Amino acid sequence: MDHVLVTGGAGYIGSHACKALSQAGYMPVTFDNLVTGWRDAVKFGPFEQGDLSNRARLDAVFQTYKPVAVMHFAALSQVGEAMSKPGLYWQNNVCGSLSLIEAAVENGCLDFVFSSTCATYGEHDNVVLDESTPQEPLNAYGACKRAIEDMLHNFEAAHGLRSVIFRYFNVAGADPDGEVGEFHKPETHLIPLMLDAIDGKRDALTVFGTDYDTPDGTCIRDYVHVCDLVDAHVLGLKWLKDGKGSEVFNLGTGSGFSVREVITHSRSVTNRDVPIVEGPRRAGDCTKLVSGSVRAERDLQWTPTRSKLEVMIADAWRWHQTGHYDK
């Protein structure tokens, strides 16, 4: 069975990717330092604890498993923290990725799937965000991801590393079987924080900014189900294995929802009240991030099946109620 090295496989998206890879007939090897990941989420293949900065560990893992590809999820991912601690993000995300990419190339593993972000685009008023939109990140998180994209292109030119880069919009939901789900400590994402407020684990959800230039004053995002997102990664891996070469794909649905709309949907899905307080804007937040691309659907034959907002909230709510958050 072919092995795929999954960095960050103990995290939210990485653990769902491991499940999708194992269902597609691959053996996912999780490489994770467990700083933000969770050991119990590694269920679908071997676990190797280590930090991306540790080249000797990485080389040993490449030599043990001889993976046919890398899926690179491992990263710190909080926009607010990236704004206040950019050095941490450049060190961990950019230098860590450099160490991984060098290890991959030197160990002859030349197919690389990378999780990037729509935060690399930054603010573009009334512009549909497709893969050719200029990348002008507003925050340090997006700047780091853009730098890693550049790194991948440089390594392709010099060493033949092929990459599929996915620019995620807002990932939400959980495995409908309940095997894995979302768990961040601290949690910073809208939907899990809202579910916490709904069931009394926090007093209220703070709405970050009500004075944006949007119909209801709150930020608009494009939410995509984590299971649909990781399905695209398996298709991206196939794309590389079919010899189709490096490519960049947005992963979003093309539908935007404001924070207030997400709250309204959550009330109806859970049949519970959502206590909210209105607060100031959060540093680094863009007004609107919605994908205007169909490239993934067209070229990868990607067909999202669970990315309706009600389904994402319902899946997240079911996972939330299992109590995994409390561990």
In the bound complex, what is the minimum distance in angstroms from residue 225's beta carbon to ligand UDP? 14
With CB under 6 A as the contact rule, the residue among 99, 188, 246, 264 that binds ligand UDP is 188
Q: Which is nearer to ligand UDP, 30 or 293 (CB)?
A: 293
- Give yes or no for residue 312 binding ligand UDP (CB under 6 A): no
Task: Answer yes or no: 141 catalytic.
Answer: yes
CA–CA dist 235, 20 (Å, integer)? 10
- Give yes or no for residue 285 binding ligand UDP (CB under 6 A): yes
Return the HEC string of the chain.
CCEEEEECCCCHHHHHHHHHHHHCCCEEEEEECCCCCCHHHCCCCCEEECCCCCHHHHHHHHHHHCCCEEEECCCCCCHHHHHHCHHHHHHHHHHHHHHHHHHHHHCCCCEEEEEEEHHHCCCCCCCCECCCCCCCCCCHHHHHHHHHHHHHHHHHHHHCCEEEEEEECEEECCCCCCCCCCCCCCCCCHHHHHHHHHCCCCCCEEEECCCCCCCCCCCEECEEEHHHHHHHHHHHHHHHHCCCCCEEEEECCCCCEEHHHHHHHHHHHHCCCCCEEEECCCCCCCCEECECCCHHHHHHCCCCCCCCHHHHHHHHHHHHHCCHHHC
Stretch that binds ligand UDP, among 7-15, 29-37, 65-73, 202-210 (CB under 6 A): 202-210
Stretch that binds ligand UDP, among 96-104, 147-155, 189-197, 310-318 (CB under 6 A): 189-197
Q: Which is nearer to ligand UDP, 165 or 207 (CB)?
A: 207
Q: Which of 327, 227, 253, 321 is nearest to 18 (CA)?
A: 227
In the bound complex, what is the minimum distance in angstroms from residue 205's beta carbon to ligand UDP? 6
CA–CA dist 80, 190 (Å, integer)? 13
- Give yes or no for residue 85 binding ligand UDP (CB under 6 A): no
125-184: which residues touch ligand UDP (CB under 6 A)? 170
In the bound complex, what is the minimum distance in angstroms from residue 207's beta carbon to ligand UDP? 5
In the bound complex, what is the minimum distance in angstroms from residue 62's beta carbon to ligand UDP? 31
Q: Which is nearer to ligand UDP, 146 or 162 (CB)?
A: 146
With CB under 6 A as the contact rule, the residue among 110, 219, 311, 313 that binds ligand UDP is 219
From residue 239 to residue 268, what is the string marking binding to ligand UDP with x (rule CB under 6 A)? --------------------x---------
With CB under 6 A as the contact rule, the residue among 99, 206, 214, 264 that binds ligand UDP is 206
- Give yes or no for residue 193 binding ligand UDP (CB under 6 A): yes
In the bound complex, what is the minimum distance in angstroms from residue 289's beta carbon to ligand UDP? 7
Tell me which residues touch ligand UDP (CB under 6 A).
Answer: 79, 170, 188-190, 193, 205-208, 219, 221, 259, 282, 285
